[in-house]
Amino acid sequence: MSHYSITTPIYYVNAEPHIGHTYTTIVADTLARYHRLAGDETFFLTGTDEHGDKIAEAAAAQGIEPRLFADRVSGIFQSTWETLDISFDRFIRTTDPEHVRAVQHILRVVHEKGDIDFREYEGLYCVGCERFLTERDMVEGLCRDHERAPEKRTESNYFFKMSRYFGALAEQLDAHPDWIRPERYRNEVVAMLREGSGLDDLCISRPKTRLDWGIELPFDADYVCYVWFDALINYLAGLGYPDGPHWEERWAGVEHLVAKDILKPHGVFWPCMLMAADLPLYRHLNVHGYWNVDDRKISKSLGNMISPLAMREQYSFDAFRYFLLRDMSFGLDSSFTEEALVTRINADLANNLGNLVSRTLNMTAKFCGAAVPAPGEPGPLEQTVQDAAGEAAREVDRRVRAMELHRALEAIFRLVDATNKYLDQRAPWKAAKQEGREAEVATTLYTCCQALRSIGLLLSPFVPEAAGAILERIGATGLEASARLPGDAASWDQLAAGTATTRGAALFPRIESPEADA
């Protein structure tokens, strides 16, 4: 059995869940659900990053201890994902004892190897970045990312001799061109190594005299670990490193999923750390773009950051999931507006998918006693739908494995289109009025029910609640628990004649376009 592990970045607890966190988590959830259906031994890891200057600052501003601040925001993340039925296997916190132990273990290994030394350093420090900046990191004296002036600091700290591994990292990138994907981000890391881009040895400690909110260095109790060196190790700790029973199998199949703003830590720091610790590298680093939000188009009730819980309340979470997965080409930026969301819901989910479900099951109830009918001999039109199901199943599998989820959804909706077209061509509502065409009506609706079974299975990783409703209505409740993709979605004649069907309410009711804020 193949092992598949998917990780989100662990989210920093200086903000509550918003559209960016939600997109990454939905992609990870979709991949985890798909690979479980494909029969892979699957592990889905997410969590929160809780140490460092920014958290200490935020807690101080509220007059509370950092741990209380971190507990509150981490709790919001975990409860949000649970409310939204995100299927994670482990929610890790960098304050968890297992994580602290793993970080200190890695630090010992790398220190004993001679890859950590003690130096005095003077430079410009950005609290937002939680690191010293180079000239490349600044514009007109301000941090490029945080638009604030860095502080001049002179400190004695521990440094990870990261530059020792740049040559090996360049060789890895050259030997495995798809190791970081899409290719544009692999090229960015190659350029970082070639041009320098401020890369050097990495300062990995902070003196407790100015920051004690962190993991203590195992070889010097006067220092805590730099937040990025700490946080990246969650990917090992969450899988059971260093002595859990399954961590090596899980790590062998690990896929990291991150946004492009944290490419450097994941594409440079992390592989160098793994090499220094004599550990295998991850299977792939998968990097997505940004969601750009036009604040003028967002209703006040949702808030500028687009709360996933608010979206669930107003539009259903499946509808929001579908929009995010369908409208972002993985790796590129995309834009969110309520108008675009509503247009996508109405066009794809209400008018297309929802209409197919309603028409099929209403006519099955009306003409076939609310049961899957026994078909007659299939003809070329029926074969076209069956072929479309097989092609959709194969393409979805190919696209999911290539991190092209929007293309996978396009493939599923080509099957929806083909089934709607077939239904219009056969027009069973007309045939039912003509004597002697009962077998044709039964064959048509049987074919549509079989197509809905394939559609429901293929959609289940993407919109699990709606897909479950489709399968339930055609009498295939719980099929996702035993099915195997892509094969079971391509197979035909799996719904037995006589299986009871249910009409149900509109799967995705049409939505009126949101009015502009007054």
Question: What would the pLDDT profile of 427-450 be if each residue is shown by its tens digit?
Answer: 999 999 999 899 999 999 999 999
Question: What percentage of the chain exceeds 90 in pLDDT?
Answer: 85
Q: Does residue 502 lie within any of the structural domains?
A: no
For 163, list phi and psi in degrees, rounded to 5.
-60, -20
Q: Does residue 131 lie within any of the structural domains?
A: yes
Indicate whether 295 pLDDT > 50.
no
Mean pLDDT of the chain: 93
Q: How confident is the model at residue 301 (pLDDT cuts 50, 70, 90)?
A: very low
- Write the Ramachandran bin of 306: left for phi over 0, alpha for psi from -120 to 50, otherwise beta: left
Do 257 and 393 belong together in one domain?
Answer: no
Last residue within a domain, chosen from 288, 321, 352: 288
- Write the Ramachandran bin of 320: left for phi over 0, alpha for psi from -120 to 50, otherwise beta: alpha
Among 54-58, 82-86, 147-151, top mean pLDDT goes to 82-86
Q: How confident is the model at residue 137 (pLDDT cuts 50, 70, 90)?
A: confident
Q: Give the span between the Cα atoms of 163 and 149, in whole angstroms.
A: 27
Do 117 and 255 belong together in one domain?
Answer: yes
pLDDT in tens, 243-283: 999 999 999 999 999 999 999 999 999 999 999 999 999 99
Q: Does residue 297 lie within any of the structural domains?
A: no
pLDDT at 45: 98
Q: How confident is the model at residue 299 (pLDDT cuts 50, 70, 90)?
A: very low
Closest CA to 414 of 446, 397, 389, 432: 389
Question: What percentage of the chain exceeds 70 in pLDDT?
Answer: 96
Q: Give the span between the Cα atoms of 106 and 87, in whole angstroms.
A: 29
Contacts of 340 (CB under 8 A, 6+ apart): 323, 327
Do 220 and 345 belong together in one domain?
Answer: no
* 371 secondary structure, DSSP code: B
Do 382 and 264 belong together in one domain?
Answer: no
Which residue range(s) make up the domain with 424?
Answer: 338-490
Do 284 and 378 belong together in one domain?
Answer: no
Indicate whether 164 pLDDT > 50.
yes
Do 392 and 452 belong together in one domain?
Answer: yes
Select which of 18, 260, 366, 421 is catalytic. 18
Q: Give the span between the Cα atoms of 271 and 331, in whole angstroms.
A: 21
Q: Within the chain, what is the greatest distance between any pair of CA atoms?
A: 93
pLDDT at 516: 43
Do 244 and 370 belong together in one domain?
Answer: no
| CATH code for position 127 | 3.40.50.620
Residues in the chain: 518
For 219, list phi and psi in degrees, rounded to 5.
-110, 5
Q: Give the span between the Cα atoms of 490 and 453, in whole angstroms.
A: 10
Q: How far does CA 509 lie from the centroid of its chain?
A: 26
DSSP string, 6-32: EEPPPEETTS---HHHHHHHHHHHHHH
Question: Terminus-to-terminus CA distance in the chain, angstroms?
Answer: 57
What average pLDDT does range 37-43 have in this prediction?
Answer: 97
Active site residue 272: no
pLDDT at 88: 98
Indicate whether 300 pLDDT > 60.
no
Query: What type of residue sits at position 433?
Result: K
| CATH code for position 345 | 1.10.730.10
Closest CA to 217 of 132, 115, 103: 103
Indicate whether 518 pLDDT > 50.
no
Q: Does residue 303 lie within any of the structural domains?
A: no
Select which of 3, 21, 105, 266 is catalytic. 21
Do 233 and 379 belong together in one domain?
Answer: no
Q: Give the span between the Cα atoms of 6 and 257, in whole angstroms.
A: 7
Q: How confident is the model at residue 89 (pLDDT cuts 50, 70, 90)?
A: very high
C-beta of residue 39 within 8 angstroms of C-beta of residue 484: yes
Do 383 and 282 belong together in one domain?
Answer: no
**Tokens at residue 332, please?**
């590129």
Closest CA to 301 of 514, 508, 13: 514
Indicate whether 139 pLDDT > 60.
yes
Indicate whether 297 pLDDT > 50.
no
pLDDT at 514: 57
Active site residue 288: no
Q: How confident is the model at residue 128 (pLDDT cuts 50, 70, 90)?
A: confident
Active site residue 51: no
Query: What type of residue sits at position 126?
Result: C
Q: Does residue 180 lie within any of the structural domains?
A: yes
Active site residue 129: yes
C-beta of residue 66 within 8 angstroms of C-beta of residue 55: yes
Select which of 3, 51, 99, 126 is catalytic. 126
pLDDT at 162: 97
What per-residue string of b and e applies to 487-504 under the rule 16 or more CB within 10 Å gives b?
ebbbbbeebeeeeebeee
Select which of 54, 146, 264, 366 is catalytic. 146
Do 62 and 131 belong together in one domain?
Answer: yes
Closest CA to 80 of 72, 147, 279, 9: 72
What average pLDDT does range 87-93 have in this prediction?
Answer: 98
Q: Does residue 312 lie within any of the structural domains?
A: no
Cβ atoms within 10 Å of 72's Cβ, excluding its own: 14
Least confident of 188-197, 302-311, 485-494: 302-311
Select which of 129, 368, 448, 449 is catalytic. 129
pTM for the structure as a whole: 0.93
Indicate whether 498 pLDDT > 60.
yes
Indicate whether 511 pLDDT > 90.
yes
pLDDT at 1: 67
Active site residue 126: yes
C-beta of residue 511 within 8 angstroms of C-beta of residue 345: yes
Burial of 395 (0-12, 13-18, 19+ CB in 10 A): buried
For 196, list phi and psi in degrees, rounded to 5.
95, -60
Select which of 208, 260, 264, 297 is catalytic. 297
Do 346 and 263 belong together in one domain?
Answer: no
**Tokens at residue 158, please?**
């521990």
Do 349 and 226 belong together in one domain?
Answer: no
Q: Give the span between the Cα atoms of 423 and 232, in whole angstroms.
A: 52
Q: Give the span between the Cα atoms of 479 and 35, in whole angstroms.
A: 15
User: How many folded domains does the chain comprise?
Assistant: 2
Active site residue 35: no
Q: How confident is the model at residue 381 (pLDDT cuts 50, 70, 90)?
A: very high
Q: Give the span between the Cα atoms of 449 and 423, in whole angstroms.
A: 11
Burial of 420 (0-12, 13-18, 19+ CB in 10 A): buried
pLDDT at 15: 85
pLDDT in tens, 406-423: 999 999 999 999 999 999
Helix/strand/coil (H, E, C) string of 86-111?
CCCCEEEECCCHHHHHHHHHHHHHHH
pLDDT at 121: 81
pLDDT in tens, 302-350: 445 689 999 999 999 999 999 999 999 999 999 999 999 999 999 999 9
pLDDT at 293: 86
Q: Does residue 358 lie within any of the structural domains?
A: yes
Q: Does residue 353 lie within any of the structural domains?
A: yes
Select which of 35, 51, 143, 266 is catalytic. 143
Angle between helices 317-327 and 19-37 (to 10 degrees): 90
**Is the alpha carbon torsion for 114, 115, 118, 119 positive or negative?**
positive
Query: What type of residue sits at position 403?
Result: M
